[in-house]
Amino acid sequence: MSNNEKDFVKEVTPQAEDFSQWYLDIVLKTEMMDYAPIKGCMAIRPYGYAIWENIQHLLDRRIKETGHKNAYFPLFIPESLLQKEAEHVEGFAPEVALVTQGGNEKLSEKLVVRPTSEAIICEMYARWVQSWRDLPLLINQWCNVVRWEKNTRPFLRTSEFLWQEGHTVHSTEEEAQEETLKMLGVYQEFLENELAIPVIPGQKTEKEKFAGALKTYTIEALMADGKALQAGTSHNLGQHFAKVFEIKFQDKDDELKYAWTTSWGVSTRLIGALIMVHGDDRGLKLPPRVAPVQVVIVPIITKKKRDEVLLRSKEIAEELRGIGLRIELDDREEYSPGWKFNQWEMKGVPLRLEIGPRDLESGGVTAVRRDTGEKSFLPSESIPSQVPLLLQEIQDTLFRQALEFRKRKTFRPVDYNEFKRILEEDRGFLLAHWCGNSRCEEEIKAETKATIRCIPFDRDPEDKGPCLYCQKEGQLVYFARAY
């Protein structure tokens, strides 16, 4: 980045200088969140929440299109319910918040504030499922969950966060497995098409899977600093929960059988992913599909042309709102145009339209893309057709850039030494052979801080080679340092 360019940004620490600080500058200064007076908790401010609402809207549609219905379950879970599934309780016990008192009375049974809702939902499902005719049961809920985290970061890991969790019940193992993979596919399509974030779908290792799951699947994304982020998970819970919560049904063959359950979720962490995948030293770069403001109109107000410029700006704002775009008309006269340019660029607005005396004369507007900085002139009559096209191009470009970045940052180390060198110098994804033994996985993590992000679906089963650590024959998996 040139010094010249640096002058545009006075509020954001450059990524190269300190990526963590860059991230914190962004979330605070774009007014996405603010720290709340509870450790690890944040207020999500309107600009950040608007992104979440867009995510909710676009994902909820997909969840419903795949046959699920929304419902709501209690925030509190009796401690005994959470403890029913052994692995599950072991996984979550260290991070649950407990309510021990209600009003002035001590509770006879402590209540857990849900860290996830398998327990309470399965408890209800046991009542609702009697017959094969009740299946599949396909329910999703949007809610908050609480996990008492020690190391928190805005959006990436907070003590309380917002998410959706789908919980389904099926009569056969095959159907549960199919559901698990289907929803992972929904997540992948959603992230790639709406958030412009390319992901690698795959399976988690035994060590990394969800507490209580038979199998966990994940989509993994690569952040601009070369660290991986688990962006969504989908779990095949087998019959673990059905058995402890007694979710049984009478099948067509008259037999009473335990059901098969799944669960899957994505969280406000996706907002962190958006920031770290697309952002640059000027601030956010939001994909148009989820940007709270898709187009900002900045009138260039001068003394002589003030009224004409404002009038034309309003007309164009209305015209674009009329075709369903999210438009902000920044007609504040107490800020200079230059200040507004920087401000809205920091906030990641994909497209800016400038309307000044010169544009009035030439009968159009000046359009400036956030992703490339490219300026173009749009004649008035072309605005309603060109603006959506530009937005689509920006959406595509963001995805393409992220994909190219990931390709550039995906390595195939030939041995463990090169693996370690790449982790120090480039980070990124490392595709390497692994024998399948947890011991090797743990040793590698202890020595390099890299974990197995997933066993990718998309791999050549013929591509076998010596395990990175023990040299026994293994298959290709993705390693990375992760958030």
Partner RNA sequence: CGGGGCGUGGCGCAGCUUGGUAGCGCGCUUGGUUUGGGACCAAGAGGUCGCAGGUUCGAAUCCUGUCGCCCCGACCA
Query: Any contact of residue 210 with RNA (CB under 7 A)?
Result: yes
Amino acid at 67: G
Distances (CA, A) of 25 to 34, 151, 200, 317: 11, 18, 28, 30
CB within 8 A of 103, min separation 6: which ones? none
Q: Which of positions 379-438 make contact with RNA (CB under 7 A)? A: none
Name which position in 15, 26, 33, 40 contacts RNA (CB under 7 A).
40
Measured from the Cβ of residue 479, the count of other Cβ atoms closer than 10 Å reads 27
Q: Which of positions 266-325 make contact with RNA (CB under 7 A)? A: 267-269, 282, 300-303, 306
Count of residues that bind RNA according to CB under 7 A: 64
- CB-based burial, 33-68: b 16+ in 10 Å, e otherwise: beeeeeebebebeebbbbbbebbeeebeebbeeeeb
CB within 8 A of 221, min separation 6: which ones? 191, 197, 198, 199, 200, 228, 229, 231, 273, 277
**Beta carbon nearer to RNA, 322 or 373:** 373
| CA torsion, ordered 281, 284, 288, 292, to nearest 10 deg | -160
Per CB under 7 A, the segment of 61-69, 132-140, 335-343, 379-387 that binds RNA is 335-343
Strands 248-250 and 295-299: unpaired
User: In angstroms, what is the minimal distance from the CB of 33 to RNA?
Assistant: 10
Query: Any contact of residue 30 with RNA (CB under 7 A)?
Result: no
Per CB under 7 A, the segment of 171-179, 182-190, 319-327, 337-345 that binds RNA is 337-345
Cis peptide before 287 (omega within 30 of 0): no
Name which position in 118, 280, 330, 354 contacts RNA (CB under 7 A).
354
Strand partners, 222: 228
Query: Any contact of residue 334 with RNA (CB under 7 A)?
Result: yes
Pick from 106, 108, 110, 118: nearest CA to 78: 110
Name which position in 10, 109, 417, 462 contacts RNA (CB under 7 A).
10
**Beta carbon nearer to RNA, 87 or 463:** 87
Name which position in 77, 214, 228, 346 contacts RNA (CB under 7 A).
346
Name which position in 373, 381, 389, 414 contacts RNA (CB under 7 A).
373
Q: Which of positions 134-163 make contact with RNA (CB under 7 A)? A: 147, 149-153, 156-159, 161, 163
Query: Any contact of residue 35 with RNA (CB under 7 A)?
Result: yes
Cα–Cα distance for residue pair 126/129, rounded to 1 Å = 6
- Reduce the secondary structure of 371-397 to three states and give it as a string: CCCCEEEEEHHHHHHHHHHHHHHHHHH
Vertex 244 angle, CA 85 and 111, to 5°: 55
Per CB under 7 A, the segment of 77-85, 330-338, 386-394, 406-414 that binds RNA is 330-338
User: In angstroms, what is the minimal distance from the CB of 198 to RNA?
Assistant: 17
Residues in the chain, overall count: 483
Q: Site mask, RNA, residues 217-256, x = CB under 7 A?
A: -------------x--x-----------------------
Name which position in 14, 74, 78, 91 contacts RNA (CB under 7 A).
91
Pick from 227, 228, 199: nearest CA to 456: 199
**Beta carbon nearer to RNA, 355 or 391:** 355
User: In angstroms, what is the minimal distance from the CB of 101 to RNA?
Assistant: 19
Per CB under 7 A, the segment of 128-136, 254-262, 356-364, 380-388 that binds RNA is 356-364
271 near 327, Cβ under 8 Å?
no
User: In angstroms, what is the minimal distance from the CB of 187 to RNA?
Assistant: 12
Per CB under 7 A, the segment of 81-89, 124-132, 192-200, 343-351 that binds RNA is 343-351
Pick from 145, 175, 397: nearest CA to 286: 397
Name which position in 21, 70, 130, 385 contacts RNA (CB under 7 A).
21
**Beta carbon nearer to RNA, 72 or 377:** 377
Look-up: residue for tokens 């998410």?
Answer: 163
Pick from 318, 337, 287: nearest CA to 383: 318
409 near 401, Cβ under 8 Å?
no
Cα–Cα distance for residue pair 260/15, rounded to 1 Å = 46
User: In angstroms, what is the minimal distance from the CB of 58 to RNA?
Assistant: 19
Query: Any contact of residue 184 with RNA (CB under 7 A)?
Result: no
- Exposed (0-12), middle (13-18) or buried (19+): which is 81, by Cβ within 10 Å? buried
Name which position in 1, 20, 53, 323 contacts RNA (CB under 7 A).
20
Query: Any contact of residue 39 with RNA (CB under 7 A)?
Result: yes
User: In angstroms, what is the minimal distance from the CB of 340 to RNA?
Assistant: 7
Name which position in 64, 315, 322, 339 contacts RNA (CB under 7 A).
339
Query: Any contact of residue 342 with RNA (CB under 7 A)?
Result: yes
Name which position in 140, 177, 313, 343 contacts RNA (CB under 7 A).
343
Amino acid at 278: H
Q: Binding residues for RNA, per CB under 7 A?
A: 8-11, 20-21, 24, 35, 38-40, 91, 94-95, 147, 149-153, 156-159, 161, 163, 210, 230, 233, 265, 267-269, 282, 300-303, 306, 333-339, 341-343, 345-346, 354-360, 366, 368, 373, 449, 482-483
